[in-house]
Structure 1
Amino acid sequence: MGNRTLNIFVLFLIFGHVFGQEKKGQLPIANVNPLLPGYFADPTIKKFGDTYYIYATTDNEMLASGVPTVWYSKDFKYWYNYTMDVPSLESVNLRNFWAPDIIEGDDGKYYLYFGNCQAGCNIYGYVSHTPIGPWKKLNKDDTPVIAHNCPKEGFPSLDAQFFTDDDGRIYAYWGTWVHYNGGYAVGELDRESMSKIRNPENIPLEETPDPFEAAYMMKKGDKYIFMYSGGSCHDETYNVRYSYADSPYGPFTPGGNNAILATNEDETVHGPGHHSVLEENGRYYIVYHKHDYPMTRGGLSRQVSVDELVFENDSTLQKVVPGAKGLQNLLKSNVPPNLALGTNTTASSYYHLQSLEYDYKYKPSFAVDDHNATMWKAGDNTLPQHLTVDLGRVTNIKRVMTQFEFAGYYYQYKLEFSKDGEDWELYVDRSNNTIAGSPMIDDNNVEARYLKLTVLDTEKTGLYAAIWNIQVFESLFDTPLNLQGNPSTEGPGVKSSHSKLVSVHASDFSQAEQTVSIPNKGDVGGNFIQEGEVALAKDDKGVTAFNFAKGALVLDVPVPKSLEWNGSFTVATWVKNPEISEEGECLVSWCDRFRFNLANSYNALHFNSGNYGAAAHLDGHFDMKYNNLPSPNEWHHIVLTFDGVVEKIYVDGKLDNSQNMVLASQIENAKIRIGASDVGENFSGYLASVQMYDYALNEMDVKKLMQSTKPFKNKE
Structure 2
Amino acid sequence: MSKLILFTVVLVSLAEVSASGLFANASGEEPGNGNPILPGYYADPSIVSYQDTYYIYATIDPWGGETLACWESKDFKNWTLHQLNWPTKEACTSPSSMGAMVWAPSVVQAPDGKFYMHVSVGSEVWVGVAEHPLGPWENPLGDQPMISADFAKEYHMIDAQAFVDDDGNAYLYWGSGWNWTNGRCFAAKLNPDMASFDGEVKDVTPSNYFEAPVMVKRDERYFLMYSNGKTTIDTYQVHYAIGDSPLGPFKEAKNSPILVTDHARNILSPGHHTVFEQDGQHYILYHRHNIPFEPVHRQICVDELNFTHDGLIETVTPTHQGPSLIANRREDRRPIPSIATASSRRDERVRAAHAIDDNYATRWEAAANDSLPTLQLEFTSVTTVSKQELIPQFGWKPQLFRIESSIDGKQWETVADFTKNPVIGSPIAIEKPVSCKYLRIQFSGSEESHTASLFEWLAY
TM band (smaller chain): 0.7 to 0.9
SS of the counterpart of 1:317? coil
Post-superposition offset of 1:64: 2.5
For 1:381 and 1:465, locate their aligned partners in 2 and report how far apart those are by CA, in whole Å: 11
Find the aligned partners of 2:326 and 2:362 in 1 and give their Cα distance.
Answer: 23
Deviates more, 1:436-445 or 1:262-271: 262-271
Partner of 2:105: 100
Do the aligned partners of 2:159 and 2:174 also contact (CA within 8 Å) in 1? yes
CA contact (8 A) 1:76 1:331 kept: no
* Structure possessing the higher radius of gyration over alpha carbons: 1
Aligned match of 2:136: 134
For residues 265 and 469 of structure 1, the distance between their equivalents in structure 2, rounded to whole angstroms, comes to 26
The percent of aligned pairs where both chains have the same amino acid is: 32
Letter in 1 for 2:313: L
Query: Shift of the alpha carbon at 1:384?
Result: 2.3
| TM-score of the pair, normalised by structure 1 | 0.57
List structure 1 runs of 4+ shifted beyond 6 angstroms: 23-27, 92-95, 332-335
Residue 55 in structure 1 maps to residue 25 in structure 2: no
SS at match of 1:461: helix
Structure 1 vs Structure 2 CA RMSD: 2.7
Following the alignment from structure 1 to structure 2, what is the Cα–Cα distance between the partners of residues 90 and 32? 38
Stretch of structure 1 that moved more, 462-471 or 88-97:
88-97
Gaps of 5+ in 1: 1-16, 353-359, 474-716
Cα distance change, pair 383–437 in 1 and its aligned pair in 2 (3 A): farther
What SS does the aligned partner of 1:293 have? coil
Instruction: Give yes or no for contact 1:65–1:95 (8 Å, CA) kept in 2.
Output: no
Mapping for residues 355-504 of structure 1, pairs under 5 Å? 360-457=348-445, 461=448, 463=450, 465-473=452-460
Task: Summarize the Cα distance change of 1:27–1:470 in structure 2 as closer, same or farther, 3 Å threshold.
Answer: farther
Report the residue type matching 2:40 in the other structure: G
**TM-score with structure 2 length normalisation?**
0.87
Which whole-Å deviations, capped at 9, do the CAs of 1:254-306 have from their partners, x for residues lacking one? 22432211111324211110001120000011110111122113xx2111111
> Aligned equivalents of 1:162 and 1:376: distance in 2?
38
Question: Could you say if the C-alpha distance between residues 34 and 278 of structure 1 is closer, same or farther in structure 2, counting changes exceeding 3 Å?
Answer: same
Answering whether residue 83 of structure 2 is matched by residue 83 of structure 1, we say yes
How is 1:19-418 mapped onto 2 (pairs within 5 angstroms)?
Answer: 19=21, 22=24, 28-30=30-32, 33-60=35-62, 63-86=63-86, 88-89=91-92, 91=94, 96-117=101-122, 121-140=123-142, 142-150=143-151, 152=152, 154-177=154-177, 180-181=181-182, 183-191=184-192, 193-205=193-205, 208-297=206-295, 300-313=296-309, 315-323=311-319, 327-330=323-326, 336-340=332-336, 343-352=338-347, 360-418=348-406
Asked whether the equivalents of residues 27 and 293 of structure 1 are also in contact (C-alpha less than 8 Å), the reply is: no
1:240 deviation in Å?
A: 0.6
Report the AA paired with residue 188 of structure 1. Answer: K
The Cα shift of 1:95 comes to 7.2
Tell which has more relative contact order, 1 or 2 (C-alpha 8 A, sep 6+): 2
Quick check: 1:220–1:314 contact (8 Å CA) kept in 2?
no
1:635-674, aligned counterparts within 5 Å? none
1: CA distance, partners of 2:361 / 2:200 = 40
What is the distance in 1 between the residues matched to 2:112 and 2:173? 23
Q: Give the drift of 1:156.
A: 2.4
SS in 2 for 1:367: helix
Inter-CA distance 27–439: structure 2 relative to 1 (3 Å threshold)? farther
Contact conserved, 1:99 with 1:159, CA < 8 A, in 2?
A: yes
State the SS of the aligned residue for 2:431. strand
CA contact (8 A) 2:34 2:329 kept: no
1:329 aligned partner, one-letter code: L
Q: 2-side partners of 1:346 and 1:49: how far apart? A: 42
Tell me, yes or no, if the aligned pair for 1:346 and 1:388 is still in contact at 8 Å: yes
Q: Is the 8 A contact 1:231 1:237 kept in 2?
A: yes
- Structure-2 change in CA distance of 1:414 and 1:156 (3 Å): same
* CA displacement, residues 514-539 of structure 1 (integer Å, 9 cap, x when unaligned): xxxxxxxxxxxxxxxxxxxxxxxxxx
Cα deviations by residue, 1:374-395 (Å, 9 ceiling, x for unpaired): 1101022544211001232333
> 1:153 & 1:439 partners in 2: Cα distance?
41
Amino acid of the residue matched to residue 250 of structure 1? Answer: G
Per the TM alignment, residue 323 of structure 1 is displaced from its structure 2 partner at its CA by 2.2
The alpha-carbon distance between structure 1 residues 266 and 433, as it changes in their structure 2 partners (threshold 3 A), is farther
Report SS of the residue matched to 1:307.
Answer: strand
Quick one: distance in 2 between partners of 1:331 and 1:169? 36
2:434 and 2:23 mapped to 1: Cα distance?
50
Conserved 8 A contact 1:380-1:464: no
Measure, in 1, the Cα distance between the counterparts of 2:108 and 2:428: 29
Q: How many Å apart are 1:434 and its aligned residue? A: 2.9
Aligned mates of 1:347, 1:223 — CA distance in 2: 55
Change (3 A) 1:321 1:24: closer
Please give the per-residue CA displacement for 1:180-215, whole angstroms capped at 9, x wherever unaligned.
546311111111x2211233444454xx22221100
Q: 2:124, 2:145 within 8 Å by CA — same for their partners in 1?
A: yes
Deviation at 1:99, TM superposition (A): 0.2
C-alpha separation in 1, matches of 2:401 and 2:391: 12
Pick which of 68-77 and 415-424 moved more.
415-424
Provide the rounded CA distance (Å) in 2 between the counterparts of 1:289 and 1:419.
43
**Partner of 2:9 in structure 1?**
none
What is the deviation of 1:19?
A: 2.9
CA contact (8 A) 1:346 1:389 kept: yes
The AA in structure 2 aligned to 1:136 is: E
Contact kept? 1:32, 1:322, Cα under 8 Å: no
* Equivalent pair of 1:385/1:456 in contact (CA under 8 Å): yes
Q: Aligned ranges for residues 523-538 of structure 1 at < 5 Å?
A: none
Distance 1:182 1:236, change over 3 A: closer
CA contact (8 A) 2:419 2:444 kept: yes
Residue 172 of structure 1: SS of its match in structure 2? Answer: strand
Query: Does the aligned pair in 1 maintain the 2:30–2:320 contact within 8 Å?
Result: no
With over 3 angstroms needed to count, the CA separation of the structure-2 counterparts of 1:113 and 1:435, relative to structure 1, is farther
Contact 1:367 1:469 (C-alpha < 8 Å) held by counterparts: yes
Q: 1:226 offset after TM fit, Å?
A: 0.8
Shift of 1:330: 4.7
Aligned residues: 436
